Structure 1
Amino acid sequence: MNATPVFYIKHLPIYGDLILSPMAGFSDRPFRSICRELGSAISYTEFISTEAMSHHSAGTRRFFDFLPAERPVAFQFFDHDVDRLVEQIKRAVDEYQPDFVDINMGCSVHNVSQRGAGAGLLRTPAKIAAIFGRLSKELPVPVTGKMRLGWDDRSLNYLEVAHILEDNGAAAIAIHGRTREQAYRGTANWLPIAEVKAAVRLPVIGNGDVKCVADIERLKALTNCDAVMIGRAAVGNPWIFQRKDRSAVSFDQKAAMIRRHLAAMLDYYGPERGLVLFRKHVVKYIKGVPGQSEYHLRLVTCTTAEEFIALFSALEARAGEAAEPIEAAAWQPAECGVV
């Protein structure tokens, strides 16, 4: 972590240039805390539906739970209704006191974007202006936005939206280099991120297809962005926030982290739900580990923590018989390609 701020979100100093992306189903308190400890400069929550909040859904309360050590913390929200979005965000900020809030303009999931929320907001720039104009005046904390390049290749309006955000009080912009139509297919286009950085005076955070340390440096060099947001590549490799590729992390380190992360999940969610939710993490942690194919299916289908630990202990013993260079070789080719 840097000793001096790398950039500011309004008045808020940010002491690093790598940030864990808000990811539904992944960016929960246990995983955020691990990534924050290893160098992620901000803890973004999973995206939160203000429509669900307005119905007093008990399931939304967990999204506001964070540890003091995670600060700065950002709550990310989505909705298509401006009044409801603003009112529910004001209530959440007053009750839970995040350091700033973020508006999701990037979710490509059909039942979100087709209803006009997430990336669907990119089709209604006037609504974006209304949201940010109100929030920047009515909130005591900064408001930022995470966006895509546009709805599709025929409606690339990232510069228009970036200027709208700047003109209506946004404190920073994060940009994923794909359209809504692309979802996560194809290759992220980083050049528009550079265009936005040159066009606005706000901090710009680049995102999309950052798979390894070399990608971090390429994205920064190409775009001059203030920070890099990392999503899928951090799952199974939270050490990327220390600028370490998977191949640079020993199996002993991975094994210790698996045990620690599992314990945190069991403690936070309870033994049954915690184990189920941890499965998607463990398959990424053990990818490329010698002998993992023999244990993969059993690890993701076992039903008790005791069974999981017994299976993982057997995998540890199996992997310990292989030389470390084998593991490194297994990771390297797929981990970092030229984008």
Structure 2
Amino acid sequence: MLTYWFLFMFPAIAALLGRDRGPKDPRYPVKLTPPWIVFGIVLVVIIGLRYQVGGDWYNYLGHLEEARGESWSSLVMQSDPGYKLLNALSLSLGWEIYGVNTVAALIFSAGLIAFCRRLPKPWLASAVAVPYLVIVVAMGYSRQGMALGFSMLGLLALERKAAPRFAGWVVTATLFHRSAMLLLPIAALTATRKRVWIAFWIGVIGVIAYLAFLEREASYLYTQYFERGYESQGAFIRLGMNSLAAVLFLLLNRSFHMSPESTSLWRWISYLSLLLMGAYFVSPGSSAALDRLGLYLLPLQLVVYSYLPGVLGGRQKKLWVTLVLFYCALVLFVWLNFASNVYAWLPYRNIILE
């Protein structure tokens, strides 16, 4: 349990000690500084070299065994081919599951740090990410963690009006988890110009991605997640946390002083977050599907809580930073002590120490 608190306190202390900055302040370049490099290494070691930690640990061992002895050409034709090929590569190098998890940790951490570094309070955003994005998603669901890492890079591209680059990152994410494909329409929704043209080619890419990655399993996934009512414990709380961030953004975004592209992007993600919350009340039996979709909207929390102290704090910015950190610490405490599946994360074990 102490490992998880250390992982949270690292960016939390940095957030309390750090200076204020603007998102485009030239005094704070996006390039990595030594503390960020150390934080990245810590993330990769704790996430990538974990041993028997995470809710799907044994499922991923099963994926590894499925790749053993398979030809590379056959793996390309399977679902989530990027992840299957990564398993085969790790096996060929003798790295087993730890090679897979370390690469997954590198991809996730790179996306997370790049995303946070472009926010007004990057260390605060990183601390916000720890309780759920880092500990639950990256350490529990490796494929979604990789997909989320690529998706965060895509969201950065979309904020800079680079819709083709966004599509490229999302398609790359889809190689590791097919659900990432559902992010593609956001490019058309958030476009501030040439919307029809962007919608057209995003639609073309979406159809191609569907035929390549999803068509063969669409019926199975629909049956599992909707018809059989596959439920996810804690989905209500997680969707609610994102809905809170969505409401705050919709109420306060004019004070965020974002570019029109960024405002449009996060406004639509806020709408989608509230839509998922509403869908939960209409169809609680589909909570697992809604929970999985909500994963890709989680960066909204990083954005909102990074901006919040500057918007509401006035001369009391540190107080608001402390309040945000207290909220995140409370989330982590409740999860570590009361979550029904926390046993899969406790105690934390690392292969280096085994």
TM bucket (normalised to shorter chain) is under 0.3
Higher relative contact order (CA 8 A, sep 6+): 2
Structure with bigger strand share is: 1
Structure with bigger helix share is: 2
